[in-house]
Amino acid sequence: MSEPGSLLRSLSGRSTARNYHSHVINEIGAGVISGRYAIGTTLPNDAELMEEFEVSRTVLREALKTLEAKGLLEARPKVGTKVAKKSRWSLYDPQVLAWHLEAPVDAEFLSGLHEVRRSLEPQAAAEVARRRTADQIRLMLYWIHQMETSLASPQNFALADFELHRIIADAAHNPFVRALYGLIELAHAFAYKPQMDNPDPCVLDKILESHKLLVNRIEYGDEAGARQAMLDTIEQDRVISVAVR
């Protein structure tokens, strides 16, 4: 789940073909995040994992190296591969973030997720309102239109919502805001996941209206209004995420 939007596309439940390497990465990575492989414990030895996943030693070792790079595992001589403590996890890695979607609810993680958004996205919206261009506004209005025409398709609606936030992040010209793509997408996934099976038109209508206001404030150069409107959309996501848990 490394391409922007891929996590939201996966909410439909359609499985995607995986090669052996990515399958092992996904299974062990998701297992670490969910607690199936507990922090501080040692993974089964190579022979056991090779048998479990039906892969060669080469495929297994490459997958474990990838997970080490993401901070989830640490190899120790004469000990084996252990599950690293949470402080080492690369939480800005889109794949690590995506694995949290299916894990048991972690209130501290969810709180931190929305707090980081509240810290950076509203200021980004204010900055964009200060120096927006006609092309940027055109793109924002395009994604608003996509939301309007996707009210009967929660997945397309969610993707349009996310793309709007990406446009704003890009327009802020702040690399640290751009680094939030995965985090913003995960927040949207938490909010929209219940809509995939049980769409609520009232929820989508409210989300649409709040985003129309956000773009309107940016278009008219209202920095304070854009900042508040962005805060309101983030709070909306938070409330929906908490309400369904």
Position 100 scores a pLDDT of: 95
**What tens digit of pLDDT does each residue of 140-177 get?**
999 999 999 999 999 999 999 999 999 999 999 999 99
Dist. CA 152–CA 12, nearest whole Å: 14
**Structural domains present in the chain:** 6-88 (1.10.10.10), 105-243 (1.20.120.530)
| pLDDT tier for residue 1 given thresholds of 50, 70 and 90 | very low
Alpha-carbon torsion 197, 201, 203, 209, what sign?
Answer: positive
Residue 245 has pLDDT above 70, yes or no: no
What dihedral do alpha carbons 122, 126, 129, 135 form, nearest 10°? -50
Position 105 scores a pLDDT of: 84
**What tens digit of pLDDT does each residue of 65-105 get?**
999 999 999 998 888 999 999 999 999 999 999 999 989 98
**What tens digit of pLDDT does each residue of 174-196 get?**
999 999 999 999 999 999 998 98
Position 242 scores a pLDDT of: 72
Neighbours of 183 (CB within 10 A): 20
pTM for the structure as a whole: 0.89
Q: In sequence order, what are the beta bridge partners of 42?
A: 82
Position 244 scores a pLDDT of: 55
Kindly state the percentage of the chain with pLDDT values over 90: 83
Neighbours of 33 (CB within 10 A): 24
- What rounded mean pLDDT belongs to the chain? 93
